[in-house]
Amino acid sequence: MASAASLFGNPLAFVTSPPSGRQYELTHGNQRAVVVELGAGLREYGTDLVPIVDGYARDQQCDGSRGQLLLPWPNRIADATYHFAGMELHLPVTEPRTGCAIHGLAHSIRWQLVDSAPASVTLDLDLPAQAGYPFNLGLSATYSLAASGLSVRVSATNRGDQACPFGAGAHPYVRVAGSASIDTALLHIPADATLEADARGIPTGAERALAGTDFDFRQPHPIGSLVLDTAFTRLRSDDDGTTRIALTAPDGRHGVEVWMDRSHSHVMIYSGDTLPDVTRRRRGLAVEPMTCAPDAYNSGAGLIVLQPGETHVTTWGIAAF
């Protein structure tokens, strides 16, 4: 048996892995990203000079859902309960404050490495049938760096023998170089409506036109002190089918955009005012691409129903300018 002295003298005896598991570093030119094993999340993304996302350190646990993939649903399911195919299904309550199930099931599971290269990595997860979600999904996420920035491709395949409900989302916080707060940044959201919601953030089923409201960012203007935890819809896409949400420095000379393909019908914008760590509040803006509305498992708004063997693919990304 090794003596206490010899054990304590071996630093490797107490080496532990980071809370987010294995770290996969991607590089391209002066860009660097770190993808993690736990949830296939994005822990870090930036250039040699500045961070582009407000992430978290290697030795920290993910807080505020930073960089997580939100699968097989984004945002909340009211009362952690929904009906599907004649079944009443009950999920674990993962947000005690509201009594809801939030941000899916895949962010707390270690994904498996499938392929890696200097500028890309692919991770897969076989999400098993479980209480509240008795369906089997095969999930895959590929992160890639290129001259145009970071792109993320997420696919979901129904591996079961019955149809299943599905929605996808992501939760990056972006920031403007040189700004300690999002307040002075110019925000541009090409959307024509927001979803009215109750105190828990559950949509009521009504949309609100943006004209004349504080949430009208169809023309870029400063965020100011506006508190945002708001789902936007009726997104406008460019000719290439891409919707771009931009956060720009006050002088308009540089900024960052989160882009998403047409599979994303909604985007959640969160200013971070309710984050437990007050030092992180309003430091970055969460721009969350979503294929469906919050509580889509109940409302059906944007809900995807995957038939056995069917695959759904989404693509989104981040670019600095």
Sign (positive/negative) of CA torsion 285, 261, 75, 141? negative
Instruction: Please indicate, yes or no, if residue 9 is contained in any of the structural domains.
Output: no
The model's pLDDT over 53-66, given as tens digits with 9 standing for 90+, comes to 999 999 999 999 99
The rounded mean pLDDT for the chain is 94
Instruction: Please indicate, yes or no, if residue 209 is contained in any of the structural domains.
Output: yes
The model's pLDDT over 129-138, given as tens digits with 9 standing for 90+, comes to 999 999 999 9
pLDDT band at residue 180, thresholds of 50, 70 and 90? confident
What's the pLDDT at 1? 39
- Which domain covers residue 216, as residue numbers? 22-320
Q: By the 8 A CB rule, do 131 and 91 touch?
A: yes
> Is the confidence at residue 127, as pLDDT, over 90?
yes
Most confident of the ranges 5-9, 45-49, 154-158:
154-158
The model's pLDDT over 254-282, given as tens digits with 9 standing for 90+, comes to 999 999 999 999 999 999 999 999 999 99
Verdict on whether the full-model pTM lies above 0.75:
yes
- Which tokens go with 74? 């984004």
Sign (positive/negative) of CA torsion 282, 287, 290, 293? positive
CATH of the domain at 117: 2.70.98.10
Q: Strand ranges (DSSP E) for 169-301?
A: 169-170, 173-174, 186-188, 191-197, 203-209, 221-222, 229-235, 243-248, 255-260, 266-270, 285-290
> Is the confidence at residue 15, as pLDDT, over 80?
no
Lowest mean pLDDT across 2-16, 190-204, 287-301: 2-16
Instruction: Please indicate, yes or no, if residue 13 is contained in any of the structural domains.
Output: no
Mean pLDDT of 95-123: 97
Q: By the 8 A CB rule, do 243 and 166 touch?
A: no
Instruction: Please indicate, yes or no, if residue 16 is contained in any of the structural domains.
Output: no
Instruction: Please indicate, yes or no, if residue 10 is contained in any of the structural domains.
Output: no
Nearest alpha-carbon partner for 64 in 34, 40, 26, 95: 95
What's the pLDDT at 177? 86
What's the pLDDT at 13? 34
Instruction: Please indicate, yes or no, if residue 12 is contained in any of the structural domains.
Output: no
The tally of domains found in the chain comes to 1
Instruction: Please indicate, yes or no, if residue 255 is contained in any of the structural domains.
Output: yes
Instruction: Please indicate, yes or no, if residue 148 is contained in any of the structural domains.
Output: yes
